[in-house]
Structure 1
Amino acid sequence: MTRPATVGEAAVLADVTDALGSVLEEFELEDTTVTMETRFVEDLDLESIDLVTLTGALNARYGGRVDFPAFFASLELSEIIGLTVGQLVRYIAGSLR
């Protein structure tokens, strides 16, 4: 699903949360509140392959307008491990402006 050129952070957060539910079958959205402060690894127990799958799903939603490989390449391993939903949301929203 492709969104208009300008997308707010709330809409992107909803997309990320939705993508988490579709990518991770065992991910229970009813039991987990995803916020901007939620950490992918520590709070959601995502592994690197899960992040790849998640970004693939998000890439499909945004029609390639967000350069996920460049985003992750710009991060150190410790930054990826501590990555929050908010950091990803802000990157996506900024890319869509």
Structure 2
Amino acid sequence: MNQANFEKWSEMAKKLQEPFQAIAELNVKTLQGLTYLKPDELAHVKKPEEVLEKQINLAVENGHKALDYMQQSFQIIEKAMLGLVKEAKKTAGENK
């Protein structure tokens, strides 16, 4: 009986850990994918307007990446919550 409880707790801990690991991987992937203005690009600027234009383009591009990040993180959380609810319903059904 004690071994069965330990296995259930171990399985539940693994399931709870999965979304945290997925979010951490998503964080790393997103941060590595962000675009920034490189010094050599600044060296080729001839007008001040070009710097502003490049910064606006970067802001828009990184904004899209941030939106993608939010969508993916919400999907991870939603998947985790749905799995938790299903498991709770299953456990409640077994205890009746």
Q: Is the pair's TM-score, using the shorter chain for normalization, greater than 0.5?
A: no
- TM class by smaller structure: under 0.3
TM-score w.r.t. the length of structure 2 is: 0.27
Higher share in helix: 2
